[in-house]
């Protein structure tokens, strides 16, 4: 029996995803930037898929998107874009994705990290002190990739915009895309890896922004040759599947909550959820189990056919505790596991996981 509880890292494609990818590979493999019927068909299909995706996700009416191959590629582009702006400051926090933190270190701007309080909420007073008329970008996660913690993006947006309406408000929505309703922002992110479509990602933006991201990305790709061309067949597949997942979001939400309930009620003694259910996205469950080492437990579970993550796949090989968990003031950052679900996961799998986890800890 193989159980995959690591969909927040890379969601396994379901049969419908595979069918969509196969069909689109056959229909839309032409270079979209050429000047023939094949390219026209690709561009038209991509535009139609984007419209349907934005509508299904109930995004802001002036939303548009530019496309990449991965979330990390989006962050690299954002860093290069920020370096074209007048020198100022960027507001972020140490719990952001490691690729985003790495990008910040390469910008010419002063980086101001806002701290979290003991409840793992961004400190609003600290934010107000650090945000000013020279702030170019404010960045925060909508759903935290390791813990599933949901941020109060609307309150943060109002706070930032009241200080400086010109600030670009960036919401990292990679873990919330198609999982929970998206917040208002100037920039959003999406990764196909999180909905079962590999090698696809999107940076959504408001068309009425003073920055023409479509033109900027075109120059980035064709004038400076700083990135390749993402495959249109995969981008179209991501957008089509995103619209599908958005239409069944409520069904998935109910299913994930039920899986969470089963696990929370059957956890071994000493294993506790990091956050109460009402503070997290339903598809992610973060567990603490001191004094056991999460990486060791994840390996032992894998030997029993269960795939989970010791925190986050992005930091799984690190020799130090997760910087994100430390920033969030999480106790015992070494002794954690992250489970993440897809529609295919079952109640029986959750009960089996709890049984095997108890056995693994007993014989640790």
| Closest among 117, 114, 137, 138 to 126, alpha carbons compared | 114
pLDDT at 317 over 90: no
Question: Span 34-40, mean pLDDT?
Answer: 93
Query: pLDDT by residue (tens digit) across 49-108?
Result: 999 999 999 998 899 999 999 999 999 999 999 999 999 999 999 999 999 999 999 999
Question: Are 308 and 226 found together in one domain?
Answer: no
Question: Are 115 and 260 found together in one domain?
Answer: no
- Give the single-character DSSP code of 149: B
Can you give the pLDDT at residue 312?
53
- Looking at the chain, the whole-number percentage of residues with pLDDT higher than 90 is 91
Question: Are 41 and 173 found together in one domain?
Answer: yes
Question: Are 124 and 98 found together in one domain?
Answer: yes
Question: Are 231 and 290 found together in one domain?
Answer: no
Question: Are 233 and 277 found together in one domain?
Answer: no
Question: Span 149-169, mean pLDDT?
Answer: 97
Question: Are 102 and 242 found together in one domain?
Answer: yes
CATH number for the domain harbouring residue 123? 3.40.640.10
| DSSP-derived 3-state class of residue 133 | coil
Question: Span 117-127, mean pLDDT?
Answer: 97
Backbone angles phi, psi at 339, to 5 degrees: -110, 140
Q: Tell me the residue range of the domain where 231 lies.
A: 15-247
For residues 89 and 68, what is the distance between their CA atoms, to the nearest angstrom? 26
Question: Are 142 and 132 found together in one domain?
Answer: yes
Question: Are 222 and 276 found together in one domain?
Answer: no
CATH number for the domain harbouring residue 265? 3.90.1150.10
| Closest among 304, 321, 303, 302 to 312, alpha carbons compared | 321
Question: Are 109 and 133 found together in one domain?
Answer: yes
Q: Can you give the three-state secondary structure of 101-119, one letter per residue?
A: HHHHCCCCCEEEECCECCC
Among 213, 231, 247, the domain-final residue is: 247
Number of domains in the chain: 2
Among 247, 276, 310, the domain-final residue is: 247
- Give the single-character DSSP code of 193: G
Among 247, 276, 307, the domain-final residue is: 247
- Give the single-character DSSP code of 150: B
| Closest among 274, 289, 293, 296 to 354, alpha carbons compared | 289
Give residue 319's pLDDT band: very low, low, confident or very high (50, 70, 90).
low
Query: pLDDT by residue (tens digit) across 242-293?
Result: 999 999 999 999 999 999 999 999 999 999 999 999 999 999 999 999 999 9
């Amino acid at each position: 029996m193989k159980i995959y509880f690591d969909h927040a890292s890379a969601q396994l494609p379901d049969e419908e995803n595979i069918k969509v990818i196969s069909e689109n590979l056959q229909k839309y493999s032409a270079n979209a930037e050429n000047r023939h019927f094949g390219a026209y068909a690709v561009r038209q299909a991509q535009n139609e898929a984007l419209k349907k995706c934005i509508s299904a996700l109930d995004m802001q009416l002036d939303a548009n998107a530019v496309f990449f191959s991965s979330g990390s590629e989006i962050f690299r582009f954002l860093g290069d874009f920020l370096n074209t702006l007048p020198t100022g400051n960027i507001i972020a926090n140490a719990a952001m994705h490691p690729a985003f933190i790495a990008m910040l270190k390469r910008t010419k701007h002063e980086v101001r990290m806002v701290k979290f309080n003991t409840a793992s909420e961004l400190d609003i007073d600290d934010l107000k002190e650090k945000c000013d008329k020279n702030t170019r970008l404010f960045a925060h996660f909508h759903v935290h990739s390791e813990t599933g913690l949901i941020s109060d993006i609307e309150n943060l947006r109002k706070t930032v915009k009241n200080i400086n309406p010109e600030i670009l408000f960036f919401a990292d929505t990679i873990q919330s895309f198609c999982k929970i309703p998206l917040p208002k922002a100037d920039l959003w992110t999406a990764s196909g890896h999180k909905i079962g479509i590999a090698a696809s990602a999107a940076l959504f933006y408001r068309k009425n922004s003073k920055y023409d991201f479509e033109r900027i990305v075109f120059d980035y790709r064709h004038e400076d040759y700083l990135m390749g061309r993402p495959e249109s067949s995969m981008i179209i597949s991501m957008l089509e599947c995103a619209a599908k997942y958005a239409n069944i979001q409520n069904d998935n939400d109910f299913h994930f909550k039920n899986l969470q309930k089963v696990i929370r009620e059957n956890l071994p003694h000493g294993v506790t959820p990091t956050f109460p259910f009402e503070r997290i996205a339903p598809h992610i469950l973060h567990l603490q189990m001191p004094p056991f080492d999460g990486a060791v437990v994840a390996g032992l579970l894998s030997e029993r056919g269960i795939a989970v993550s010791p925190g986050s796949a992005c930091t799984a090989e690190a020799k130090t505790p997760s910087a994100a968990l430390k920033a969030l003031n999480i106790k015992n950052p070494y002794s954690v596991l992250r489970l993440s679900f897809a529609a295919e996961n079952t109640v029986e799998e959750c009960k089996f996981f709890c049984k095997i986890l108890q056995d693994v800890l007993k014989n640790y």
